[in-house]
Amino acid sequence: MAADIEPTAKKTSEDRSPARRNGARVGGRKAVKPLRSIAIFGAVGALVAGIALPAFATSKPSEAATTTLQQLAAVDAQSLVVASQATAAPLSRGTFTATTPEEIEKKKAEAAAAARAAAASTASTRFNTAGYALVSPGSGEVRYPLPGGSYSQGRTIGGGHNGADMLAPAMTPIYATAAGVVRASAESIGGYGVCIMIDSVVGGQQVQSTYGHMTYGTRQVAAGQTVAAGQLIGFVGSTGRSTANHLHFEVWINGGMVEPYSWLAANAG
C-alpha cells in the first residue's frame, strides 16, 4: 500500500510547483495580448504623426495668410499686384527736352527771346507808323530823342524831379538816344505811365535813358530787344503822373543822374 500512495503524492506536488505554473502562463495566449495591443497603438500613433500633423501645419499658414491679406485690403483699400503681372511702362526719350542745367537754361533763354520777339511784333502793329521817320535825324552814337524844332524845353532836374521835360505835341515820334538793350517796356511804370528804359554803353560809360509819359499803345520795342541809336521807340503822350503832353527824359551815367539837356548838347551829333 505504501507503493501505491507515493506516486499519487509526487504528481500532486509537481502540479503545484511554481515552475510549472509559470511555464504554462508564458506559453499561453494570455502573454500575447499585451504585446499585440502595444503594437497597434504604436502603429496608430505613427499614422497620426505622419499624416494629420503635416496636413494641419500646411493648412494653418494658408488660413493665416488669407486672413492677413483680407484685413490689409479692408484697411488700406489697395489692390494686390502679383509680381508676374506687374509690367514697366515704356519710357520715350523724346519726352525729355532738356537733361542738363545748361540745356535747361538754353531752353529758357530761347523761350524768353521768342516771347520778347512776339511782344515787340505785337507792339509794332498797335500803331501805324506810316508817315513817321523810323530813324531820328543826326549822326553819331548819341541822338536827340525828339526831332529838332518839335519841342520846347520845360523843367529839368532838381526839387525831386529827376529828368528833363521836353514839351511837344501828342504823337511826336520818340527815338532811342543811343544804341543798347531795352531794360523795361510797359504800358504803366509807376508815375512814368507808358515808359521805356534802355541800357547803353557810350564812350565806355554805362548810360541808362528813360522815356516816360508816352501815348498808350504806341511802344515800338519790348524788354530785351536790341535797339540802334536813333531808332523809333514810341510817341509823345501824357500818361502817368502828367498834366500835359511831353516827354520826360532821364539820363543816368554809371548809376549817377546827369542833367539831360547839357548832356545832349555835349554828346548828340
Q: What pTM, to 2 d.p., does this model score?
A: 0.55
pLDDT at 223: 96
pLDDT at 52: 59
Q: Cβ distance 171 to 129 under 8 Å?
A: no
pLDDT at 81: 47
Give the residues of the chain that fall short of pLDDT 50: 1-15, 17-28, 61-65, 73, 76-84, 86, 92, 94-95, 124-125
pLDDT at 64: 46
pLDDT at 27: 47
Q: Which of 211, 213, 204, 225 is nearest to 267 (CA)?
A: 204
Q: Say how far apart CA 112 and CA 119 lie, in whole Å.
A: 10
- All residues at 6 or more sequence positions from 258 whose CB lies less than 8 Å from its CB, including other chains: 251, 252
Q: Which of 145, 196, 198 is nearest to 175 (CA)?
A: 145
Map out the domains of the chain with their CATH numbers.
98-269 (2.70.70.10)
The helix, strand and coil proportions of the chain, stated in percent and rounded to the nearest 5, come to 40, 20, 35
pLDDT at 136: 83
- All residues at 6 or more sequence positions from 51 whose CB lies less than 8 Å from its CB, including other chains: none
